[in-house]
Structure 1
């Protein structure tokens, strides 16, 4: 006879935070976990061969209660409440692969699911006031795409500091997709940027004395290159005060004062300047159109058309995205580029042609952006301590998440980037374009220099 004193103890079901939350996570994911999760109490769930997500504090769950979805997860990572044991890029790539292979589709959470989540969070001690929003989050006010709000949006991103971008970027200070023409040892980001700048100048047909309007000139990479290497007379426009100050300093130090004028104005103010209509041989806008806005884009393309002389050329290098998350998603819109708007490539082409321009060439650079962003990310990781000392841990983590996520978006074709070359035909339809692309690609930029 077995007594209670001799009966073996019953096996107990683990009751750590991970095991208690597992059914709810799987309900919200629509299937089994694609990653391993380690909670603040050391309990773990999920496949052992997958990247491990560390939920370091109860505050991480509180963030998700107050801000469900992408933004809550991003803010938990930014603040260090959540972390990965692997390289962030490798970890996110493995997660996305697992989600695809398992066919996970998150159902829309029902009211009962939300109630269960709140009750469980209460039992785990995760309920409380809304956690502080990270300081790096944009807080824009005012009418969407008003001049004041657009200035604030541009300042949020581009006025972080010239020193920050000088540390992140290469010597060209080009903050846009490079054009990678070689895999030879020693060929790097600065070479890819110079090759991109040379390609743009050739497509625009720049010659000594040609007038170029560079809208959204950034830190002046194209402006300075077109003046120095092609003798173009450039009007550079930027809404970011830090950028304008940097370009002016470069113009002075390089002795380009006779060739370059720098304007710290809104692009909409260009049309109000006397003598602007039909005054330019070429106009460029390199990854600036994403900041214009959907409703405002037709007026933007009209400016591109109107500033050109007949047979003048326009170069638009611009990111594209499908109709889902045209602003890039909650994280990008809150922390990186508030009010940004992207559209499918075909829609941009139609808008350019609707303004009276004739689109003559489109070149996709999607893979080139993967290589470009990865180069920026390597710099960030290699000089991590310097970035943290300059902007703080949270802002550095914002940029890590931004660069890793951006590279994946281009890699997986959720985003694209293209050079769109168009021309303003003269009244009888003549575009004066070269009959082939031969002159754009026949010789490397070193031969031009």
Structure 2
């Protein structure tokens, strides 16, 4: 945080200079700078003790093993009987590790096996062994100057390759305490430059800049989501001890040998909200964050209630209204292009709502507006017997302070302005902004269910990229060059694996919080009295 105390008149020009440096990394010959950057990065990587990183430096022609030097495990048996395709040996021909190409089969890397040709995390607890291939010396400079953000950018730009990013992230999470102690020059440089980067919303590189600013169409999301178009964590049905399935309690871990569809798991989650809020036919439900209308449609189909749903996306509004009309529910569901802060006094809010539901929208509120959000919930929910249910991705308490002061790949490239609160932070705001009148009924962490979901989304995204996503990008942005499209693809692949590793290791959580007013007797319906 070297520059964090300097006035804006100093930090703004420095921040602009920082962005110029980030954009120039890949195009310069660094010479003496590389002589400092490379050994510094290697000194940090040498702190790996759990698991193994095999580092192949193509420009230097070297191979370095860091951490535990144990062999890659033998190929595991496949979960499916489908014959695998033609796996390509090596990470682009390096060291005999197979890399997936489209729907081609993959198995045997880092104790993982394949489903439809994509890496699947191992269910055992052996330390990960991962191979990283450095394609360009720009990689060392990016990581030296910008740490984890530099690694993300190097991957997006093809300066480094990894056949199993999920296991790579798990490796670093397992060794985080050893590698992030702030004692190395890498930590000092990256923290200083990160503090500058937080003063600006501009992106660092021409390719990164262009790919990050293109609007993403409904067609792209449809290419990897399930048919219901629910873009949030589902609840998978868990296996019982006898191999059957427990449909009444789907909140345990999912072990992968079941053939339940993602759509089934999403419907289970939506039903959890409808049942948790005890939605009735006479209720007027407010949904904050429409998505593509799956919750509103499901709630009305099941209960006959009325739903007013808020979104800030014109594309989502158009498609959700089409889906609602196709379901014959246009008379029961109203989708408004409106910010939640503007709803009070709007004709759609003639009276407080009986129930409020918000699914993974809180992450977009921002730290500075959490109090405002829950103050609005307090105003919009009826005072006698109202019930609200929220779902939100969360950051663990122990990492929350450092996270709040920094910037990561997700809030820079995927959800600009996004913020993951802690559970304590959410509960404190709920209590304070409602003057204690919103009583917490339950807090349930379903984050473990996200890992499988993110893997399935990634598989569909990659499988459909050439046939669906690339043409959609070209159609909407005719000037988008092939290298820009490749950066876009790698950015989203990185995003899916980055998040998957976070949920697998419980570095991230995803909670469902149910609150009710005094007099919410419906919350007692499932309890023997």
Question: 1:52 aligns to what?
Answer: 131
Q: 1-side partners of 2:422 and 2:303: how far apart?
A: 33
Per the TM alignment, residue 292 of structure 1 is displaced from its structure 2 partner at its CA by: 0.9
> Is residue 36–residue 44 contact of structure 1 (8 Å, CA) maintained in 2?
no
Q: What secondary structure sits across from 2:349 in the alignment?
A: coil
Give the RMSD, CA atoms, in angstroms: 3.0
Per the TM alignment, residue 138 of structure 1 is displaced from its structure 2 partner at its CA by: 4.8
Q: 2-side partners of 1:385 and 1:408: how far apart?
A: 26
Question: 1:370 aligns to what?
Answer: 451
> Is residue 59–residue 131 contact of structure 1 (8 Å, CA) maintained in 2?
no
Question: 1:161 aligns to what?
Answer: 217
Per the TM alignment, residue 359 of structure 1 is displaced from its structure 2 partner at its CA by: 1.1
Evaluate the alpha carbon distance shift between residue 407 and residue 131 of structure 1 in structure 2; reply closer, same or farther with a 3 A threshold: closer
Question: Does 2:42 match 1:26?
Answer: yes
Question: Does 2:424 match 1:346?
Answer: yes
Q: What secondary structure sits across from 2:322 in the alignment?
A: helix
Any idea what the Cα deviations from partners look like across 1:141-162, whole Å, max 9, x if unmatched? xxxxxxxxxxxxxxx7xx5110
Structure 2 unmatched runs, 5+: 1-33, 72-128, 190-203, 240-244, 246-257, 474-484
Q: 1-side partners of 2:139 and 2:374: how far apart?
A: 44
Q: What secondary structure sits across from 1:168 in the alignment?
A: coil
Question: 2:235 aligns to what?
Answer: 179
Evaluate the alpha carbon distance shift between residue 361 and residue 136 of structure 1 in structure 2; reply closer, same or farther with a 3 A threshold: farther
Evaluate the alpha carbon distance shift between residue 64 and residue 109 of structure 1 in structure 2; reply closer, same or farther with a 3 A threshold: same
> Is residue 136–residue 395 contact of structure 1 (8 Å, CA) maintained in 2?
no
Question: 1:90 aligns to what?
Answer: 167
Per the TM alignment, residue 278 of structure 1 is displaced from its structure 2 partner at its CA by: 4.2
Question: 2:31 aligns to what?
Answer: none
Greater CA deviation, 297-306 or 211-220? 297-306
Q: What secondary structure sits across from 1:417 in the alignment?
A: strand
Q: What secondary structure sits across from 2:444 in the alignment?
A: strand
Q: 2-side partners of 1:137 and 1:109: how far apart?
A: 33
Question: 1:407 aligns to what?
Answer: 500
Question: Does 2:413 match 1:320?
Answer: no
Any idea what the Cα deviations from partners look like across 1:21-48, whole Å, max 9, x if unmatched? 7643333446369522222335123217
Q: 1-side partners of 2:328 and 2:284: how far apart?
A: 18
Question: 1:298 aligns to what?
Answer: 371
Q: 1:201 aligns with which of 263, 271, 274?
A: 274
Per the TM alignment, residue 364 of structure 1 is displaced from its structure 2 partner at its CA by: 1.4
Per the TM alignment, residue 82 of structure 1 is displaced from its structure 2 partner at its CA by: 1.0
What does 1:219-230 correspond to in 2, within 5 Å?
A: 219-230=292-303
Question: Does 2:49 match 1:36?
Answer: no
Q: 2-side partners of 1:222 and 1:247: how far apart?
A: 11
Question: 2:480 aligns to what?
Answer: none
Q: 2-side partners of 1:301 and 1:384: how far apart?
A: 39
Q: 2-side partners of 1:225 and 1:435: how far apart?
A: 23
How many residues matched?
381
Per the TM alignment, residue 108 of structure 1 is displaced from its structure 2 partner at its CA by: 3.9
Evaluate the alpha carbon distance shift between residue 90 and residue 176 of structure 1 in structure 2; reply closer, same or farther with a 3 A threshold: same
Q: 1-side partners of 2:446 and 2:150: how far apart?
A: 32
Any idea what the Cα deviations from partners look like across 1:228-271, whole Å, max 9, x if unmatched? 22111110100111111111111222211110111011111111
Q: 2-side partners of 1:261 and 1:345: how far apart?
A: 31
Evaluate the alpha carbon distance shift between residue 131 and residue 399 of structure 1 in structure 2; reply closer, same or farther with a 3 A threshold: closer
Evaluate the alpha carbon distance shift between residue 326 and residue 287 of structure 1 in structure 2; reply closer, same or farther with a 3 A threshold: farther
Q: 2-side partners of 1:171 and 1:327: how far apart?
A: 38
What does 1:54-203 correspond to in 2, within 5 Å?
A: 54-64=133-143, 67-84=145-162, 86-97=163-174, 99=175, 103-105=178-180, 107-110=182-185, 132-135=206-209, 138=212, 160-182=216-238, 185-203=258-276
> Is residue 393–residue 510 contact of structure 2 (8 Å, CA) maintained in 1?
yes
Evaluate the alpha carbon distance shift between residue 232 and residue 160 of structure 1 in structure 2; reply closer, same or farther with a 3 A threshold: same
Give the TM-score normalised by the residue count of structure 2.
0.66
Per the TM alignment, residue 275 of structure 1 is displaced from its structure 2 partner at its CA by: 6.2
Evaluate the alpha carbon distance shift between residue 38 and residue 302 of structure 1 in structure 2; reply closer, same or farther with a 3 A threshold: same
Question: Does 2:413 match 1:335?
Answer: yes
Q: 2-side partners of 1:327 and 1:162: how far apart?
A: 33
Question: 1:143 aligns to what?
Answer: none
> Is residue 207–residue 487 contact of structure 2 (8 Å, CA) maintained in 1?
no
Per the TM alignment, residue 136 of structure 1 is displaced from its structure 2 partner at its CA by: 5.3
> Is residue 28–residue 106 contact of structure 1 (8 Å, CA) maintained in 2?
no
Question: Does 2:489 match 1:396?
Answer: yes
Per the TM alignment, residue 325 of structure 1 is displaced from its structure 2 partner at its CA by: 1.5
Q: 1-side partners of 2:59 and 2:513: how far apart?
A: 54
Question: 1:256 aligns to what?
Answer: 329
Evaluate the alpha carbon distance shift between residue 357 and residue 32 of structure 1 in structure 2; reply closer, same or farther with a 3 A threshold: closer
Per the TM alignment, residue 175 of structure 1 is displaced from its structure 2 partner at its CA by: 0.4
Structure 1 unmatched runs, 5+: 1-17, 115-129, 140-155, 440-449
Structure number with greater Rg is: 1
